Structure 1
């Protein structure tokens, strides 16, 4: 059982569509933390949570799924994201003041949660806030051995797009693994996913002593085109997995993918060859396929749709 600390966001997702409005406990970091716990890891979430009814719901939800919370106070209440799909087509996202002004407190409890972890996952972090980034970097020793980063930028939460991209690349250069999506590349760079992957790999190569440290692993996700893992000379691709039933909600696909890959690393270490990476990616794509067949972002395993007989670590 790996000890994993996830650092990032926790919020209430409000989904609006022609059927009405529904609320889910969410946030990219929270989704990853709960997903890892469901897969059997010992998980702590570091996130900002308000002292309000929504915050109480988040705390109860994490307790129910066995995730320990190290909460930063939020003077503006609990973060909320509204996904409005009532007009059809692509959803429109809006974030409340708490989400736009998110801030983590790197106090003794937070630093201890990071220090004791085998792996540290950072997702949906404000990389355009220099003070918070400095505190994060100072808290994580040996990042090349245990840091996994997913920028997860959101247009409505960005303060400085260029600063976010530059600092995210700089932090990712020292990580064990970084996840990036096609939508991230478009939002931050106005470029393709391949361009973003090349930038991340080049930044890492420029900052590393190749004779001493293994290369950065980059997990590139592209929606219906699946995921590709870039690691040194390796390039391993996994396509979308077909499971019974319709796709209901793709919101949690990326977080489920990251949870499954992180769980694999925690259980077996970072894969070092094509066969091992193929196992990790195929499992992650299967978990993502099961997750999108349910509303909300809660990770699901293939048992939930009755497609396979077994699902292991």
Structure 2
């Protein structure tokens, strides 16, 4: 593969995206968790031993104080963007069967301030992870592109679109695809494909990179991490296509909310320590690590990354 890869000693990681309060409602009542895709990845990487900074928007309210305290507990530095609308909140209502999601006005108008502190955090990072960014905001997207040097060497992006936060689906798709083409690795999920394309995950993967068999170049575009829930995850990296099934651990699946973020955290951790995998065997190792951590995470309520307490039982 022709991808440039960060050195295995990489440890400084800056995550850019959302931080919010997840309010879960079900027949047993209502509970609140600190969340947001970017925040989950930042905390997950900190739990995996990395040196992490989160760039996210917070309001001047009690919810923001709760988020600051939570990040401090896990040793994640915070570079704040101000919000006149308060701190973002997502409500997951599971009282009537299928979960329904609602986002407050702050979440719908989330933004990042690309000031000196944000740019310094991006410049100093060996890896930059962008997750749940407002790609449908043209001005924000232009600032993001301008603020990150050498994205093809160090950027990992997860679009993480949410129906209740999308202002312009077509613009989000166009800018996400453009940013993914500039990046080292892009993550996409089956739900992303349905929301943004109304099509399959395979179709989304095909849009993000040309078929290398049909191209003269030996490698093209980013490595793509495609996640499909119970169907596991697949890496598409040039001519390499590597799949991993989900991992079986003891205990029931309690909450799948943090599975995708845990998977991404584990892959970023692998890249930070060992560089971008260059062979089928190396990708198999990275994916198996990620599936194991995701399996441990979904056996607890909330999206906090978990490590397995015992050896996993891998499918034969």
Establish whether TM, by shorter chain, passes 0.5.
yes
Q: How has the CA–CA distance of structure 1 residues 43 and 154 changed in structure 2, closer, same or farther, with 3 Å as cutoff?
A: same
Counterparts of 1:119 and 1:56 in 2: how far apart (Å)? 27
Q: Aligned-pair distance for 1:307?
A: 3.6
Is 1:49–1:77's contact at 8 Å kept on the other side of the alignment? yes
2:122 aligned partner = 114
2:134 aligned partner = 126
Instruction: Show structure 1 runs of 4+ deviating over 4 A.
Output: 203-206, 208-211
Is 1:170–1:203's contact at 8 Å kept on the other side of the alignment? no
Q: Secondary structure at the match of 1:228?
A: strand
2:16 aligned partner = 7
2:156 aligned partner = 148
Question: How many residues get paired?
Answer: 304
Q: How has the CA–CA distance of structure 1 residues 145 and 16 changed in structure 2, closer, same or farther, with 3 Å as cutoff?
A: same
Q: Tell me if 1:291 matches 2:300.
A: no
Bigger relative contact order (CA 8 A; separation at least 6):
2
Is 1:28–1:123's contact at 8 Å kept on the other side of the alignment? yes
> Among residues 207, 219, 229, which one is paired with 1:223 in the alignment?
229
Q: Aligned-pair distance for 1:51?
A: 1.1
Aligned pairs for 1:41-120 (under 5 A) are 41-88=50-97, 90-120=98-128
> Among residues 250, 261, 282, which one is paired with 2:256 in the alignment?
250
Q: CA RMSD in A?
A: 1.9
Q: Select between 196-205 and 234-243 the one with higher mean Cα deviation.
A: 196-205
Q: How has the CA–CA distance of structure 1 residues 205 and 102 changed in structure 2, closer, same or farther, with 3 Å as cutoff?
A: farther
Is 1:204–1:216's contact at 8 Å kept on the other side of the alignment? no
Q: Aligned-pair distance for 1:141?
A: 0.6
Counterparts of 2:213 and 2:54 in 1: how far apart (Å)? 30
> Among residues 186, 189, 198, which one is paired with 1:181 in the alignment?
189
> Among residues 35, 40, 60, which one is paired with 1:31 in the alignment?
40
Q: Secondary structure at the match of 1:202?
A: coil
Unaligned regions of 5+ residues in structure 2, if any?
1-9
Unaligned regions of 5+ residues in structure 1, if any?
none
Is 1:50–1:75's contact at 8 Å kept on the other side of the alignment? yes
Counterparts of 1:76 and 1:204 in 2: how far apart (Å)? 46
Is 2:212–2:220's contact at 8 Å kept on the other side of the alignment? no
Counterparts of 2:169 and 2:227 in 1: how far apart (Å)? 21
Q: How has the CA–CA distance of structure 1 residues 147 and 205 changed in structure 2, closer, same or farther, with 3 Å as cutoff?
A: farther
Provide TM-score, normalisation by structure 2: 0.93
Counterparts of 2:212 and 2:258 in 1: how far apart (Å)? 28
